[in-house]
């Protein structure tokens, strides 16, 4: 008898079994190939780093979500990486400091976070992505977002939409209005809740129309820019809006059919971003597929990156692969099986004569059987074998 205490895993951790593990491997491989084909060279940072190294490389806002441990050898505090982007920032600012810019890097690996969310209950999951470092123009934002979309399309994600945000806009407006950090926090909280009624009742500022307009502008970028352009803003705030417009025009040129929205009240997940941020969505997934944006590395270089959420993509991949798995009877040759694999089939070979091909296919999770020198769906096989 199995002792259940020996197989229990800590909260938020799980085994990826055969199908999920295989799908994750294939997804990561395909994504990295897409990134590398656009010049993003792969690097592989370690799972554990010194605490100071993580915190000094744009990681202070993730500190509360880090697993920490004491190195028994040196007694120094170490941490398990909560985000690989932080490590890419360190590598770009040190080991690759003298490499010509813009620097294009890609990566893939597991990360570990202390806290979970309702949408993402896992504490360990794969983070795959790429970073463009050392280019300040809006062309870098356009390249990263366009590559992110095209990479997801290649692995079968349909009807992708882009949601843009600008985490620094609210802070800039609050600074222009001379609001304190406490007052700014109140406004951020109300915007996060989309609480228009409470914004109108604020006592400490009469300039609530700007924040009301931020909520009213949520939606298609053209509509949002029309509302935001009518506001009386400082030159700095206007430049931020202008940057969005430049990126939007570039994206529509590269991706003319894609839906692009803007939500300047969205700050969750963009804690260390210093410029434009974006999230990708698809009707095939219940939550966002990935997230990215502009930030500063530890030596203040401007960078733009994108990270994919593999858990969301896995669900899409499993759905896409249903019906692609074919049972290969014992008598079928290796050459015939290879032809099927080359054509995109996932072949499952039998190593004994079958007494019931239909049942064998169901038990081995196959939707097709190679029968009569061609792939046949199970419902057809069931009729033939009756």
Q: Give the mean pLDDT of the chain.
A: 90
pLDDT recorded at residue 101 = 96
Predicted confidence at residue 320, as pLDDT, reads 60
pLDDT digits (tens, 9 = 90+) for 31-54: 999 999 999 999 999 999 999 888
CATH number of 8-157+290-303: 3.30.930.10
For residue 131, report the phi and psi dihedrals to the nearest 5 degrees: -135, 135
DSSP 366: -
Q: Of 58 and 10, which is predicted with more confidence?
A: 10
Structure tokens at 120: 């993402």
Q: 90 vs 42, 76, 95, 102, CA distance in Å?
A: 15, 19, 8, 16
Phi/psi of residue 119, each to 5°?
-70, -35
User: So what's the pLDDT on residue 16?
Assistant: 86
> For 41-181, where are the E strands, in sequence order?
41-42, 48-50, 67-70, 77-80, 103-112, 124-133, 161-165
Q: pLDDT tens-digit profile of 42-86?
A: 999 999 999 988 887 556 667 888 899 999 999 999 999 999 999
Query: What's the confidence (pLDDT) of residue 247?
Result: 98
Average of pLDDT values for 295-313? 91
pLDDT tens by residue, 317-374? 766 665 688 999 999 999 999 999 998 898 999 999 999 999 999 999 888 999 999 9
User: In the prediction, which pLDDT does 6 show?
Assistant: 64
- CATH 3.30.930.10 range(s) for the chain read 8-157+290-303, 161-281
Q: What percent of the chain has pLDDT over 90?
A: 66
- Has residue 2 got a pLDDT over 60? no
d(CA 264, CA 283): 22
Q: Is the pLDDT of residue 206 over 90?
A: no
pLDDT tens readout for residues 114-154? 887 777 788 898 999 999 999 999 999 999 999 999 999 99
Q: How far is CA 113 from CA 92, 130, 267, in A?
A: 23, 20, 19
Per-residue pLDDT for 246 more than 70?
yes
CATH of domain 161-281: 3.30.930.10
Read off the pLDDT of residues 261-294 as tens digits, 9 standing for 90 and up.
999 999 887 878 899 999 999 998 888 999 999 9
Q: Quick check: 240 pLDDT over 80?
A: yes
Mean pLDDT of 97-122: 90
Distance CA 290, CA 269 (A): 11
Integer CA distances (angstroms), 300 to 218, 239, 267, 311, in order: 31, 20, 21, 32
Q: Is the dihedral of CA 74, 77, 83, 87 positive or negative?
A: negative
Rg (the chain; Cα; Å): 25
- pLDDT above 70 for 5: no
Q: Where are the beta strands (DSSP E) in 182-286?
A: 219-220, 259-262, 277-281
Of 4-8, 26-30, 135-139, 307-311, the poorest mean pLDDT is in 4-8
């Amino acid at each position: 008898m199995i002792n259940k205490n020996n197989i229990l895993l800590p909260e938020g951790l799980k085994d990826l079994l055969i199908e999920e593990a295989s799908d994750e491997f294939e997804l990561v491989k395909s994504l990295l190939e897409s990134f590398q084909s656009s010049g993003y060279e792969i690097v592989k940072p370690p799972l554990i780093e010194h605490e100071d190294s993580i915190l000094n490389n744009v990681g202070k806002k993730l500190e509360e979500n880090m697993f920490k441990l004491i190195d028994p050898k040196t007694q120094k505090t170490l941490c398990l990486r909560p985000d690989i982007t932080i490590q890419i920032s360190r590598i770009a600012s040190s080991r690759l400091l003298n490499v010509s810019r813009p620097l294009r890097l890609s990566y893939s690996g597991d990360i570990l976070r202390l806290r979970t969310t309702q949408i993402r209950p896992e504490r360990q999951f794969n983070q795959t992505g790429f970073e463009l470092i050392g280019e300040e123009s809006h062309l870098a934002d356009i390249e990263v977002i366009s590559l992110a979309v095209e990479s997801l399309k290649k692995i079968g994600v349909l009807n992708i939409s882009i949601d843009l945000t600008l985490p620094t806009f609210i802070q800039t407006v609050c600074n222009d209005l001379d609001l304190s950090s406490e007052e700014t926090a109140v406004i951020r909280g109300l915007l996060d809740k989309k609480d228009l009624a409470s914004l109108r009742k604020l006592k400490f500022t009469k300039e609530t129309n700007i924040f009301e307009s931020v909520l009213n502008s949520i939606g298609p970028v053209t509509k949002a820019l029309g509302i935001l352009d009518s506001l009386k803003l400082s030159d700095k705030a206007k430049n931020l809006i202008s940057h969005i417009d430049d990126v939007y025009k570039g994206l529509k040129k590269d991706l003319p059919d894609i839906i692009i929205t803007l939500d300047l009240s969205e700050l969750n997940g963009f804690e260390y971003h210093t410029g434009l941020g974006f999230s990708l969505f698809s009707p095939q997934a219940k939550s966002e597929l990935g997230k990215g944006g502009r930030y500063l590395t530890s030596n203040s270089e401007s960078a733009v990156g994108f990270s994919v959420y593999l858990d969301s993509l896995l669900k899409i991949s499993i759905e896409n692969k249903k019906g692609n798995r074919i049972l290969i009877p014992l008598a079928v040759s290796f050459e015939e099986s290879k032809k099927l694999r080359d054509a995109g089939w996932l072949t499952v070979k039998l190593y004994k004569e079958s007494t019931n091909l239909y049942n064998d296919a169901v038990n081995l999770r196959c939707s097709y059987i190679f029968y009569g020198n061609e792939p046949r769906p199970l419902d057809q096989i069931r009729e033939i074998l009756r």
